[in-house]
Amino acid sequence: MKNSIIVGVGHYVPETVVKNSDLEDVMDTSNEWIIERTGIEERRYGKKHVETSTTMGAKAAEMAIHDAGISKEDIDFIIFATLSPDYYFPGNGVLLQRELGITNTEIGALDIRNQCSGFVYGLSIADQFVKTGMYKNVLLVGGEMHSMGLDFSTRGRNVTVIFGDGAGAVIVQPTDDKNRGILTTHLHSNGTYAEKLAFISPGAHGGYYQKYTDEELDYGFPKDVLGEVFVTQKMVDEGMLYPHMEGQFVFKNAVVKFPEVIMEAFKKSGESIENLKLLIPHQANLRISQFVQKRLGLKDEQIWNNIQKYGNTTAASIPIALSEAIQAGVVKKGDLVCLAAFGSGFTWASALIRW
């Protein structure tokens, strides 16, 4: 079996910069609070009517394709990870295929719904497909347009200040070099805490999960009628159409699972963390990254953080950071790179790569 290797990277962030002071204008928050709790100074928002998670993904993909030295027609499989898809269905995978203009090859397109760990899950899938010889040029994209689904009133401030828009992409190919490439990937989940960080409505749940929410939320679904509605008036009136997060609970789990899944990758591969060139953690919160850095005893130059500029871009955060680190010349051929993520689900994952 061949190894699989990342041969091209790319990223795109929208032009519009939204500073913490801009959020102060629309909700009861402060620059000091946001920086102290999250490290975030600004984030980018896509332009309505012009940009979506798919179009940003396409821009990142074009850069990755160019970087890999291949043409769009060489791509034989698409994987798109996002929690902010353009449509409920079909998914961003096929929309990206159309946006890139490669529908003539009729390749497969897969959508991933693993939120913050979506990119690492996608990398693991690409790795398996490439290693078995099924595909030779997998395009993996993580893209988010969070700004279309946030509550900009004070009620939503604990979530809204954290998230930003953007996209990142990689091309995964086979290699004959047994010493380089994706060494190992590790995927985990625990659905027990599904509602702790979730975008529940609109959804086809029909009120079934009421029992799992602390306040036994009534979503306003009519009972005993033929057929059901997807969005109820109650959801609109009571602002239920936004993400919900129990921040401290998420934080406490993240700081345990990040180090655990990173060390799992080192143990499995037989590599030593002392030889780690760069850890790229999902950019959830700068305080989480700092906690993980301390726990693992890493130096400042061994961890990449850019949440200060972009906020949390969920499935896009790791490929954006990876692309920036490559551009900055921090990661070179032969370097040991670790990717790790934790988020909604809960799902968490890691990948260890010999670049």
Candidates 116, 146, 285, 338; catalytic one:
116
Q: Is 317 in the site for ligand COA (CB under 6 A)?
A: no
**Is 116 an annotated catalytic residue?**
yes
CA distance 292 to 6: 25
* Least distance CB 284 / ligand COA (angstroms): 3
Strand extents, DSSP E, the chain: 3-12, 16-19, 42-45, 77-81, 108-112, 138-144, 166-175, 181-189, 197-198, 244-245, 278-281, 336-343, 347-354
Q: Is 38 in the site for ligand COA (CB under 6 A)?
A: yes
Task: Assign 3-class secondary structure to 87-152.
Answer: CCCCCHHHHHHHHHCCHHHCCEEEEECCHHHHHHHHHHHHHHHHHCCCCCCEEEEEEECHHHHCCC
Candidates 146, 186, 244, 282; catalytic one:
282
Q: 183 or 321, CB closer to ligand COA?
A: 321
Q: Which stretch binds ligand COA (CB under 6 A): 32-40, 174-182, 187-195, 220-228?
A: 32-40
Among 5, 75, 116, 339, binds ligand COA (CB under 6 A): 116
Residue nearest to ligand COA (CB): 247
Q: Is 343 in the site for ligand COA (CB under 6 A)?
A: yes
Among 139, 250, 265, 273, binds ligand COA (CB under 6 A): 250
Q: 26 or 229, CB closer to ligand COA?
A: 26
**Is 338 an annotated catalytic residue?**
no
How distant, in Å, are the alpha carbons of 56, 80, 161, 278, 328 from that of 43?
A: 15, 22, 9, 23, 20
**Is 282 an annotated catalytic residue?**
yes
How distant, in Å, are the alpha carbons of 22, 253, 264 from that of 8?
A: 35, 33, 26
Q: Which residues bind ligand COA (CB under 6 A)?
A: 29, 33-34, 37-38, 116, 157-158, 161, 197, 245, 247-248, 250-251, 254, 284-285, 288, 312, 342-343
